[in-house]
Amino acid sequence: MEDLWNIWFSELHRKSAGLTVKIKDILFSGKSDFQRIEVFDTEVFGKVLVLYGSIMISERDEFIYHEMITHVPLNVHPAPESVLVVGGGDGGTVREVLKHKDVKKVKVVEIDRMVVEVCKRFFPEISGGFDDPKVEIVYNDGARFMAETGERFDVVIIDSSDPVGPAEVLFQRQFYENVYRKLKEDGIMVAQTESPFYDREAISKIYRSFKQIFPIVSMYIASIPTYPSGLWSFGFCSKRFHPIHDFRGTKVDCASLRYYNPDVHVASFKLPNFIKELVE
């Protein structure tokens, strides 16, 4: 029997091209103090979390984003004991951080408590790390936390949504300057930095800010099918360690990972010409 429940989610760039996904079921649809939150079940991508109209994670490909935003910095820093995750309320980044045995403490600063609650309910295999005793969640505005905290960190991971809506402030220079100050003297910041195919002007601006603040700045990329254009970028910003020259091989069991491995670590920093021009 044909299923006539014709509900589609379409995430469009400039209202004129993008990903469209047939919905099998609407598992959650609500509104927090900060944004709309939806959880859909889909045939191709499994369960999907949508924040502020954009797909944040899908069961089918979340491993790519979460492995790449985590294992790249944590395998470059020789002893990352304290890690701060800004955003990351779905828990995928925390799950990957906890695979590094040298990490003693993970702090998550998430603005939206409902994101964490929804993910604990619908994505337990992604958010399970929140129950680990090493992990502490602070519900606060990431920019305000970063300005005010007295703590310092080895690695800061900016696992934000897009620069529209609640995460907008996490793409501004003042915020990156505060991250720099709260990193230890050999600290590393990694941030998701949007699609190098679609968001070219925004990316150029972001990397100009990075370079005015950090001595070592590199972009790396990954293929993420549910993100706009399927091509995504990350900024590696560091006070001392170089992402390739100081990479001594991986400290996690790559056999348990599905995207990241030492070859991919190095290869992800080799940029196609049309991307390289954004950061030079």
User: How far does the chain reach from its first CA to its final CA, in angstroms?
Assistant: 55
Rounded least distance, CB 256 to a second copy, Å: 9
Structure tokens given for 12 = 């469009």
22 is a contact residue toward a second copy (CB under 8 A): yes
DSSP-derived 3-state class of residue 29: strand
Q: Does residue 231 interact with a second copy by CB under 8 A?
A: yes
Instruction: Supply the minimum distance, in Å, between the C-beta of residue 244 and a second copy.
Output: 11
Kindly tell me which of 185 and 263 has the beta carbon lying closer to a second copy.
263
Contact code string over 169-208 relative to a second copy, x by CB under 8 A:
----------------------------x-----------
Strands 105-110 and 54-58: unpaired
What is the DSSP code string of 158-206? Answer: EE---SSGGGGGGGSHHHHHHHHHHEEEEEEEEEE---TTT-HHHHHHH
CA 23 to chain centre: 24
Among 26, 36, 43, 164, indicate the residue that binds a second copy (CB under 8 A): 43
Residues 192, 95, 137, 31: what is their CA dihedral angle, to the nearest 10 degrees?
Answer: 70
Q: Is-catalytic flag, 159?
A: yes
Q: CB-wise, 19 or 147, nearer to a second copy?
A: 19
**Which positions lie near a second copy, rule CB under 8 A?**
10, 12-22, 42-45, 61, 63-64, 197, 221, 223-225, 229-231, 254, 257-261, 263-264, 266-268, 270-274, 276
* Residues known to be catalytic: 159
